[in-house]
Structure 1
Amino acid sequence: MENVFIMDHPLIQHKISMLRDYQTGTNEFRKLVEEIAVLMGYEAFRDLPMEEVEVTTPIETCKTPMISGKKLAVVPILRAGLGMVNGILTLVPSAKVGHIGLYRDPETHEPREYYCKLPESIGQRLVTVVDPMLATGGSAVAAIDFIKERGGKQIKFLCIIGAPEGIKRLREAHPDVQIYCGHVDRELNANAYICPGLGDAGDRIFGTK
């Protein structure tokens, strides 16, 4: 699928399997989400623009490549997306962090916004939206709608587990957005939970029920 990148690296797949286990406790779950975000970000940022700069080594002066000043922003979809932020910041410590708060209507399963705060100059930044789960796709589509309404242009979406329904919906709504997914699961159940999935990512990251 064009613009959809499945992260089939053995380390990512191994850590996702550990996430799925219902016996994995909160502390370990949180660490695994962060580690997976680092590994996924490493691949997602493969196309960052580079420029040659002059550096003086202990031996001599040379031209060497560095990222060419591209401003980055990471925007978690609250609350589960917060678990992936530190992983991205490990790779790009200078990135600004925004937040989009959505909750899922229990009747319609559609997203409702309750908070949106984005870094300034969002139109000049590469925006990486993070959420561990891409289920119906409603929250991802809504979050990217908000970012585009506020001037965002270059956007990537990172999720650890995606349902085919959510990937299809996000691709159709925002064909210009690159989607990076750790694993595509079988389907959504009647309650719009991903199967086999890993349960409620937010509850498992923050130890709530």
Structure 2
Amino acid sequence: MYPENVTVINHPLVQHKISMLRDIHTGTNEFRRLTEEIAMLMGYEALRDLPLEDVEITTPLETCMTPMIAGKKLAVVPILRAGLGMVSGILALTPSAKVGHIGLFRDPETHEPHEYYCKLPDPIDLRTIVVTDPMLATGGSAVAAVDFIKQHGGKTIKFMSIIAAPEGLERLSKAHSDIQIYCGHVDRQLNENAYICPGLGDAGDRIFGTK
């Protein structure tokens, strides 16, 4: 049903919390907390293929070889500003991860993204990179963000969104068929203003309490 590089996380807890996010009566504090919780639940699934290596550990009883995550630390890269709302959920799983930022704004007429900021952990090419944005709408910002990361040398990239439109999912999966895409729910369609329907409104405004 979906492209091979797309995983829809249909865990009951994720679906329940997404329904609460959608509710117009959910206030800023609860919306922020739910976004963090969903990101953590999704991160558990998205990071299941992190490489492991055996290291020597001394327990209270003896010395043993036991698995730990191998290689350079994970990099979490939110697309500003709504993507920031998902960062703490992933950091709850991997507290030592480095955090970068990509700033994009969407042209109100063309709905195409424009970059205004990009700062990534170094060396980015040796890290598993998780790009976060609660809403995957047209896919323009997501494609541009992954483009920028690849231009800076990023290779192992995962994209996480809470809600996706079919149009954005198709655009991102085709433009970057080599990355893994995770979303919590695929909604019906985009409206004439490129908002996801039924969606949950503007995620950035609801996370930060702005309009």
TM range (shorter): over 0.9
Q: What is the distance in 2 between the residues matched to 1:123 and 1:65?
A: 23
Q: Give unpaired runs (5+ residues) of structure 2.
A: none
Q: Which residue of 1 aligns with 2:26?
A: 24
Q: Is 1:107 matched with 2:87?
A: no
Q: Which residue of 2 aligns with 1:33?
A: 35
Q: Which residue of 2 aligns with 1:185?
A: 187
Q: Give the aligned CA root-mean-square deviation in angstroms.
A: 0.8
Question: Partner amino acid for 2:18?
Answer: I
Count residues with an aligned counterpart: 209
Question: Partner amino acid for 1:110?
Answer: E
Q: Which residue of 1 aligns with 2:76?
A: 74
Shift of 1:63: 1.7
Moved over 4 A (4+): none
Question: Partner amino acid for 1:33?
Answer: T
- The answer to whether the 8 A contact 1:141-1:170 is kept is yes
- The answer to whether the 8 A contact 1:132-1:158 is kept is yes
Q: Could you state the TM-score of these two structures normalised by the residue count of structure 1?
A: 0.98
Residue by residue, what CA displacement relative to the aligned partner does 1:138-170 show, whole Å, maximum 9, x if unpaired?
000000000001111110000000000000000
**Range with greater deviation from structure 2 (154-163 or 119-128):** 119-128
Q: What is the distance in 2 between the residues matched to 1:146 and 1:56?
A: 43
Q: Is 1:166 matched with 2:201?
A: no
Q: Give unpaired runs (5+ residues) of structure 1.
A: none
Question: Partner amino acid for 2:130?
Answer: T
Shift of 1:69: 2.9
Q: In structure 2, the residue corresponding to 1:23 is in which secondary structure?
A: coil
Alignment of 1:87-106 (within 5 A): 87-106=89-108
Shift of 1:71: 2.3
Identical aligned residues as a percent: 78
